[in-house]
Amino acid sequence: MALNPFKYCSGLRVLGYFMILLVAAIIAVSYYAVVVLIWGPQLLHGGLRSVLSISIVTTFHLLLILLTWSYLMVVFQDPGSVPENWRPVMQEENMETSSMALSGYVDPESRNSTASPSEGGRQAVGYCSRCQNSKPPRCHHCSVCQRCVLKMDHHCVWVVNCVGAQNYKFFLLFLLYTFLETTLDTLVLLPHFIKFFGDAKSRSTSPGNLALTFLAFVINLAFALSLICFLIMHASLLSSNTTTIEVNEKKKAVRWKYDLGWKKNFEQVFGTKKVFWFFPLFSKEDLEKITALHGLDFPTRSDVEA
């Protein structure tokens, strides 16, 4: 019997639960250093110092709320899995679905299982031998989750979940708000980090508080520098409507069939309602109209064969 090394990948899920605890610990250390230890006490000083403290503490809490909200959505939101016994609808059924769309009504089951001709025609459908099921376009099998994931981008150990069609926006917001939070923490802790060396010699501050300030600064600086690289990478992928897995496939193509222009590419992930762009939510209208958010159908370029 052939050895299947991928079956051991499921053990990474155990590591993921420790990563969640690590995220909570980093937040706790940063909160204590920024709010409790340094800027919180200065709220009572009055004057410009107090105004600056209010601004920093308020911004810190706002970013923390958005960061935590986005993180929990990535962790608990299913990225999208293939419906059991899913199959692509045949051309005749596609024509029927198209005629219903023109009349203003599309049956939800038909919409979720076809690639509408008006959105680029039929698209390639694969088959997963491990799931024993058909695979919609852009769907890939995750060896960690042991299932096929719709529009899979990657499996993220930090969130113990795959990043796919239905939670990619939440993942991007998590990256963005974590970068902004860690950058803010780095900037407001920098003067105290510099002061750390003087306080360490004079012993004017307790060793425990000095260590926490130093640790919080180093951790936040490291995360801010690493996250900016991830943000740039995913911004590039978002602008071309490409997943991390599809990068090599895109390089081989003359024209990437899912690239509809940066504006439509952005809307395929974030929706069309601007008021929802900065929150890990989708409007009901976007969920009904943008089939890519469900992960089964994707519009393609008209000048590229699907």
Question: 143 — phi, psi (to 5°)?
Answer: -75, -15
pTM of the model: 0.83
Closest CA to 267 of 245, 296, 243, 289: 289
Residues 142, 156, 162, 229: which is the catalytic one?
Answer: 156
Q: Are 280 and 70 in contact (CB under 8 A)?
A: yes
Is 92 exposed, middle or buried (CB count within 10 Å of its CB: 0-12, 13-18, 19+)? Answer: exposed
Residue 94: how many other CB atoms lie within 10 Å? 18
pLDDT digits (tens, 9 = 90+) for 236-286: 999 999 999 999 888 888 889 999 999 999 999 999 999 999 999 999 999
Q: Give the whole-angstrom CA distance, residue 158 versus residue 154.
A: 12
pLDDT digits (tens, 9 = 90+) for 66-91: 999 999 999 999 999 998 878 776 54
Measured N-to-C along each axis, helices 207-239 and 262-270 cross at an angle, to the nearest 10 degrees, of 120
Provide the token pair at 232: 């740039």
pLDDT digits (tens, 9 = 90+) for 116-171: 433 444 456 788 888 888 899 999 999 888 899 999 999 998 998 999 999 999 99
Q: Is 145 a catalytic residue?
A: no
